[in-house]
Structure 1
């Protein structure tokens, strides 16, 4: 096998491969031998089928497997020589081995460009210090109270209000006809938490338990069900039960119920520590991002188009999925997929540039990812997505995604390495504006 290399661009390379007839014959003969050892043909003992019969009966399969196996061997050898790692899939030209005939084929791939790394050790950067206020801790405890509240039916004719839990049956009508798909019985809803359209909750709040009501309401233009988006219907609602929450007292008993804490002070201490860790991680991440931005501004190199396109497609899909989880759709937002992709391209380019930069740092510092670190990644991912870790890892292996995982972990290591070697100065945290929640508040 011989090959020549053509650099199409700083991020794209083409390899032209020439296979002599002798090598083609050897690859075909190996495939025939493999088939002889494993196939059963009536009238012949297993492993004793003449090669001519095997070649005639399984010609298409033999040629396909022999060609694929030989090309894979070549690619692995050539990529090792070139010391380049494809950032996207290889584009291999159509090829098929034929007995006593040389074979020529090409493959192209995108890779990281060559560039000079700036000095990335000893960089100065500021990181916000951690501050947790009593008000933030109190807000968490209040949410805990709501989660542990007793829910009991109310008596009397009081109208439902925010915080109440209602059980309702509803149906929409248009021109006196029921609208398909807009009906539910004994639907349970907590008012004031954004679980339903504001107009629907407003209607429910006008109906006492055991009563019925109706009102016109218009679905949002970006409603997830495109058939309903923008339509005005007559919504009829029957409220069966209205329940109110009775909040427990803020005392040691609450702490015990919330997480088996010894007392309220221990609970506050645990919440404070959780806040501090979460906020410290956020501040570190923010400072790390500023440091990377500072370094990236010092380099300029072309980006692989296919890799950027893949990143844009992934981001667009995630955006659409988020819309749908909020009960909306892309069409209702007034944007097309092309509009969305155009908006996301600059961010995708930044992400790809960052990945390439960090990969270069990882290579220079000879950073590696161990099998144990790969396994730890899949254990974390399986916990997040609720899937079996073995099946999840197999999916990544079967779909050629293991290199992507390794590169991500290498990039994370490189970012940590840069930050560990930076001159970090702690500064006072930026406080939230009056009336706004504290920065980075989490339960």
Structure 2
């Protein structure tokens, strides 16, 4: 699935260097203040404003009136505090309110008047209000780059041919046998081999000190699964039931816990039990595990169909990857830093959740994700460029997605997830992800547009394309 658009909408409120407690967007009104616009880079503009004192004075008067309605000063009734007294006690608040209103009004008017499509919160620099002087401030804002896609019509592409061989079906059947495998006693008196399941006690020490986090009793482990640090499971191969062993293991240099990274530990293990995997025979009785098949022929025919669907999906994905690679390589342009930062955050969050789903502690998963920051920044840049290019192609070719298409995709997703359509729709609306579906559909249309007009050469699929790890 192509990454969803991670930059929805215009920002709600600008960010100011000077501390302002409230900075809200006002209803746009026409202003006469001139603004100077400087292009810092293809994705950054600097707007400079100089507001006459008369306008500042009026805004201050409005601010003091608003502050005065709620001001509490001893000796005066609420709403009746004189301006001079308010200036003593509430000057900072009133000036902050005035600055907020001035910056908001003039900034948003300038965006509208000059058709500036801001894509992130601006950086506002202002020095505050000085009596009888004009008020000046600057707003540095990021904008989308001007992208002019080229060579996307007639693109030379290679499409992986879809084919399912008998050996592909046999390989899938072996995977299904693994799913139905059971664990049993060893069929003969032998030592531990790769793929066996063992129950063991172990304890480890670091620098001669036993560590609680390196100890467990009755731990169940598949030898060769890679759940332990490299080398640990290899030491178990050849051991027998009730056998004890002591051996050194060096933690990887990039290990998640810094106090262990790169250090040698001593482990003591005792094997309590050894089990081996028992695979079912592939025969007519095996096929009866699946209600919809009467015999082996129907079973293999269904596998051929499903494998064909998977191969077709891989072929389409590979074709889309080619398109993105060619588009990004052919177009060198700067992207807004905030776009890249947001994509990195999304990718780091995805990686952290993936690691946690595999059993890694939250803090360790966060450290592991952060260690991939530089790699993710490069990948994020490619993703953002791809998104901007696809968006521009859709605009140039008037490719759009209607509401009924979005509704149809939501119904399709609901059916796949086995949930009511309205429930899924409400969930997507609450998570503000309906627009993601629209953009995903639009991207699919752009891909199809390019493929239909491309120069396609059929190629054989990689030999390991259909293997499941």
Task: Report how far residue 146 of structure 1 moved.
Answer: 1.7
> What is the rounded CA distance, in whole Å, between the counterparts of 2:342 and 2:46 in structure 1?
20
> What is the rounded CA distance, in whole Å, between the counterparts of 1:30 and 1:178 in structure 2?
67
> What is the rounded CA distance, in whole Å, between the counterparts of 2:258 and 2:175 in structure 1?
35
Mapping 1:10-409, distance limit 5 Å: 10-19=42-51, 21-22=54-55, 25=58, 29=62, 49-50=78-79, 52=81, 67-68=99-100, 71-94=103-126, 103-118=135-150, 120-154=152-186, 158-174=190-206, 177-257=209-289, 260-263=291-294, 264-296=296-328, 298-304=330-336, 307-308=339-340, 341=374, 347-368=379-400, 373=406, 409=440
Task: Report how far residue 5 of structure 1 moved.
Answer: 1.7
Task: Report how far residue 167 of structure 1 moved.
Answer: 1.6
Task: Report how far residue 116 of structure 1 moved.
Answer: 3.8
2:445 maps to 1:441? no
Task: Report how far residue 85 of structure 1 moved.
Answer: 3.0
Q: 2:453 aligns with which of 404, 407, 422?
A: 422
> What is the rounded CA distance, in whole Å, between the counterparts of 1:75 and 1:298 in structure 2?
36
> What is the rounded CA distance, in whole Å, between the counterparts of 2:260 and 2:329 in structure 1?
47
Maintained 8 Å contact 1:288/1:419: no
Please list every run of 5 or more consecutive structure 1 residues that lacks an aligned counterpart in the other structure: 433-437
> What is the rounded CA distance, in whole Å, between the counterparts of 2:398 and 2:61 in structure 1?
40
Maintained 8 Å contact 1:216/1:232: yes
Q: 1:9 aligns with which of 24, 32, 41?
A: 41
- Per the alignment, in what secondary structure is the counterpart of residue 320 of structure 2? helix
TM-score for both structures, normalised by structure 2: 0.68
> What is the rounded CA distance, in whole Å, between the counterparts of 2:161 and 2:171 in structure 1?
21
Deviations 1:351-405 (A, max 9, x none): 443333223223333445667849979x979x99xxx9978876779xxxx99x5
Maintained 8 Å contact 2:193/2:238: no
Deviations 1:286-310 (A, max 9, x none): 2233334445555444444554566
> What is the rounded CA distance, in whole Å, between the counterparts of 1:376 and 1:40 in structure 2?
55
Deviations 1:196-227 (A, max 9, x none): 23532233334433443322333233333232
Task: Report how far residue 244 of structure 1 moved.
Answer: 2.1
> What is the rounded CA distance, in whole Å, between the counterparts of 1:90 and 1:300 in structure 2?
25
Task: Report how far residue 145 of structure 1 moved.
Answer: 1.6
Task: Report how far residue 183 of structure 1 moved.
Answer: 0.7
Deviations 1:159-197 (A, max 9, x none): 222222222221013565423521112211111222223
> Matched residue pairs, number?
416
> What is the rounded CA distance, in whole Å, between the counterparts of 2:104 and 2:341 in structure 1?
26
Q: 1:237 to 1:370 in 2, by over 3 A?
A: farther
Task: Report how far residue 98 of structure 1 moved.
Answer: 8.5
- Per the alignment, in what secondary structure is the counterpart of residue 93 of structure 1? strand
Maintained 8 Å contact 2:196/2:222: yes
Maintained 8 Å contact 1:224/1:327: no
> What is the rounded CA distance, in whole Å, between the counterparts of 2:429 and 2:291 in structure 1?
36
> What is the rounded CA distance, in whole Å, between the counterparts of 2:64 and 2:432 in structure 1?
28
Please list every run of 5 or more consecutive structure 2 residues that lacks an aligned counterpart in the other structure: 1-30, 418-423
Q: 1:155 to 1:420 in 2, by over 3 A?
A: closer
> What is the rounded CA distance, in whole Å, between the counterparts of 2:111 and 2:408 in structure 1?
26
- Per the alignment, in what secondary structure is the counterpart of residue 183 of structure 1? strand
